Amino acid sequence: MPILNVQIIQGYTPAQKTDLLKKLSQAVVDSIAAPLASIRVVIQEVPRENVIVAGELGHDMALITAGLISGRTEELKAALVLALANATEQALGLSTQNVRTIIFDTPSTDMGVAGGRTAKAAGR
């Protein structure tokens, strides 16, 4: 934990996507002090014709959903949102104005971790 699911428009290079994965992982470490070993990031690419933003079909965007174990402060969550937007801008050249983040707080009893245990059973 944390788990990030990132939706972006198709068309970025493999190098840009690799950079995005690394920068998002580091953004989580830097903003909420999560251990790198616990971070998972998945990119999903969406065809341009399947996206509409503010009435504009095919508008560039990124949508990041972040699953966290409950308990982080509002300040830490704000730091995470900012860090993820900045990392996306740095890796893809996509303005932070076009990055949205949704945080899902999950009770430790409802999050599975390594070994098939709940996060609570693992002491988190």
User: Which CATH number is 95's domain given?
Assistant: 3.30.429.10
Domain enclosing residue 52, as ranges = 3-118
**Does residue 14 form part of some domain?**
yes
Secondary structure element (H or E) that encloses residue 7, with its range: strand 3-9
Q: Convert the pLDDT of each residue in 22-70 to its tens digit.
A: 999 999 999 999 999 999 999 999 999 999 999 999 999 999 999 999 9
Residue 77: pLDDT over 90: yes
pLDDT at 120: 87
**Does residue 57 form part of some domain?**
yes
- Is 2 catalytic? The answer is yes
pTM above 0.75, yes or no: yes
**Does residue 124 form part of some domain?**
no
Q: Convert the pLDDT of each residue in 86-111 to its tens digit.
A: 999 999 999 999 999 999 999 989 88
At residue 4 the predicted structure's pLDDT band, cuts being 50, 70 and 90, is very high
Number of structural domains the chain divides into = 1
Which residue of the set 2, 14, 47, 107 is catalytic?
2
Helices (H) and strands (E) in the chain, counts: 2, 8
**Does residue 61 form part of some domain?**
yes
- 93: helix, strand or coil: coil
